[in-house]
Amino acid sequence: MQSYPPPSAQTLAWLREALGVAVAATAPLTGGISQAVDVVDTADGRRYALRRWCRPGWQADGPWFTPENEAAALTSLSGTGLPVPEIVALDPAGAEAGHPALLMTWLPGEMLPSATHRDAAVPPPTPDMLARLVEAAHAIHAVDGRGVAPFEPYVVLAEARPPAASTRPELWERAIAAGLAAPAPARTTLVHRDYHPGNTLWRDGTLTGIVDWTNASRGAPGYDFGYLRVNLLITYGQEYADRCCRCWTGRTRPATWPRSSTWSGRARTPRRSR
C-alpha cells in the first residue's frame, strides 16, 4: 500500500462543513494504491470513507478516473440494490478540501485477500461467495453506464509481448492472439474495471460492499469476469479460477461476454508460462 499524508487541516475543515460536526479521528484504510482512502470518525459517533486524489501525477496516469467519474458510477448504481457507497460530499477540483475528494457512506464488513493484498490467515471464498461475486457482476452489467469514462484497457494487446522470463512464450503468444481475435462486444455496459475480491466487503459470508469505483468505465461486461478470474488465479490458485467458471455455467451466457476460450486462456497462461 502506498503511503499518503493524513488529511490536512483544510481537508478536515471541509469534512466538518460537509458533515456539520467535528472529525474525531481519521486513519488510512488497507488498499489505497491509486489514491488515498481513509476512515473518518466524527465526534457524534458516525463513520465515513474518504477518498483523496493526492497522488502526484495521477492526472497523467488516469485523467479519466476522477472524483466525478466515481460519483457518476455510484449515482448510476443507486436503486439497484447492490451494496455500494452513497455520496455524502464531493469536491471535484479540491478547491475546498485541498485535493479532489469524495466522501462516502461507510459500509460494514472485511475485504477478501486479493493479488495485491494477500493474507494467508483469511480463508478463501466459499463456492457460495464466488456465486455471489458473479451475481453481483451481472447486476452491475445490467446498468447502462452512460456518463462514466469510456473503457481504457490496462494493456494494449497489439503491443503485448511474452515476458522475458517466461519459459513458455508460445502460450503467451496464443493468449495474446486469442484476445486480439475476440470480436467486438455486441453492447457496452457499466463495468467496475477493477473487479476482484479485494474490492468487496463481507460479513459472515454475506456480500456487504462493492467499493473502489474510481476506475468504473463503460465497456464490455466480459472484462470484469476475466479480471476477476485472473485475480482469483493469482490469489488462490487455478481451482478457484475454475470455480468462478462453474458459477457462470448455470446462467445463460450473453453475446456480450467474450468467448470463454479467450478469457480462460488469459487466466491459465500465467500459471503455465513460468
Q: 272 pLDDT exceeds 50?
A: no
Helix axes 169-181, 260-272, angle to 10 degrees: 160
Q: Which three cell numbers stand for residue 176?
A: 495474446
- Res. 14 pLDDT band, cuts 50 70 90: very high
Q: 58 pLDDT exceeds 80?
A: yes
Nearest CA to 84 among 196, 218, 200, 188? 200
The pLDDT tens digits of the residues spanning 217-227 come to: 999 998 999 99
Average pLDDT, the chain: 88
| Cβ(126)–Cβ(236) below 8 Å | no
Number of neighbours of residue 216 by Cβ within 10 angstroms? 30
The pLDDT tens digits of the residues spanning 88-104 come to: 999 999 999 999 999 99
Query: What pLDDT score was predicted for residue 264?
Result: 43
Q: Which amino acid is at 57?
A: G
Query: Looking at residue 113, what DSSP letter applies?
Result: P
- Give the whole-number percent of the chain exceeding pLDDT 70: 89
Mean pLDDT (whole number) for 158-176:
94
Q: 145 pLDDT exceeds 50?
A: yes
- Res. 256 pLDDT band, cuts 50 70 90: very low
Number of neighbours of residue 42 by Cβ within 10 angstroms? 17
Query: What pLDDT score was predicted for residue 247?
Result: 83
